[in-house]
Amino acid sequence: MLLEVKGLEVRYGGIRAVKGIDLAVDTGELVCLIGANGAGKSSTLRAICGLNPARAGSVRYAGLDVASVPVYELPRKGLVMVPEGRGIFPQLTVEENLAMGAFACADADVPRDIERQYGTFPRLKERRTQTAGTLSGGEQQMLAIARALMARPKLLLLDEPSMGLAPLLVAKIFEIVREIAAQGVTILLVEQNARLALEIAGRGYVMESGAITLADEAANLLADPKVREAYLGEGAG
């Protein structure tokens, strides 16, 4: 198992944002974690990559205890996150942002990796000399994903990639995520758009108020009446 989370608890002061959850992602899987805003999804991702210290429980990635590894070393070991809000460098150009993503693998293959990202994201190639802060929201999301891929991740954590995007751009971003998974990158996707997430994932977890309430194959969750009513906007009966 590439990622194993057991009994994970995250607190902010006296608030338990994540309440002792278990989840796992195997090599080659695309797994989604869905739930309403404030359910604890982003806190879970941040704990997995060491940005939020776990109050209890454990996170093991590729056999390593994440708590024992400095956060800045995790990308070098293949654990990479695209944060909510994208987190690009707005004053740098598109190409400079991509080069920054390769800080953990500064070698002769970096220019080839940049060209590979331009193949996946042709719009970024068109804007390679443009400062990132002047890109549209969809283009910034593409850049954030491409920059993360520059680190050659073994496990890619995606936090709300559809947030704030128009429907056509959301569909494009999900198409790209599907393509990345097909190339062999393991993905844990946190997403409020439950339908799209479950349509591209193999398995899914449902999170409510800091707890995992359902876990199943994505197709089964899509067909579950409770999931359909709560997250897909379909009324009971």
pLDDT, block means (10 residues), the chain with 237 residues: 97 94 98 94 95 93 94 93 91 96 79 94 96 94 95 96 89 93 96 94 97 97 93 67
Question: What is the maximal distance between C-alpha atoms in the chain?
Answer: 59
Q: What is the pLDDT of residue 85?
A: 83
* Residue in the block written with tokens 């070698």: 107
Reduce the DSSP state of residue 84 to 3 states and report it: coil
58 within a domain of the structure (yes/no): no
Number of structural domains (the chain) is 1
Assign 3-state DSSP to the chain and report helix, strand, coil percentages, each to 5: 40, 25, 30
146 within a domain of the structure (yes/no): yes
Can you give the residue range of the structural domain that contains 204? 29-44+71-231
By C-alpha distance, which of 141, 145, 213, 223 is closest to 179? 145
> Burial level of 122, CB count in 10 A (0-12/13-18/19+)?
exposed
By C-alpha distance, which of 16, 37, 26, 20 is closest to 159? 37
24 within a domain of the structure (yes/no): no
13 within a domain of the structure (yes/no): no
> Partners of 121 in the beta sheet?
none
Secondary structure element (H or E) that encloses residue 225, with its range: helix 225-231
14 within a domain of the structure (yes/no): no
Within 8 A by CB and 6+ apart from 171, the residues are 196
> pTM, whole model, 2 decimals?
0.94
CA 156 to chain centre: 6
1 within a domain of the structure (yes/no): no
5 within a domain of the structure (yes/no): no
**Type of residue at 51:** L
**Cα-only R_g, the chain:** 17
Q: What is the pLDDT of residue 237?
A: 43
Quote the tokens at residue 107: 């070698």
Q: What is the pLDDT of residue 128?
A: 96
Q: What is the pLDDT of residue 106?
A: 64
Q: What is the pLDDT of residue 153?
A: 95
The enclosing domain of 167 has a CATH number of 3.40.50.300
9 within a domain of the structure (yes/no): no
By C-alpha distance, which of 36, 43, 37 is closest to 21? 43
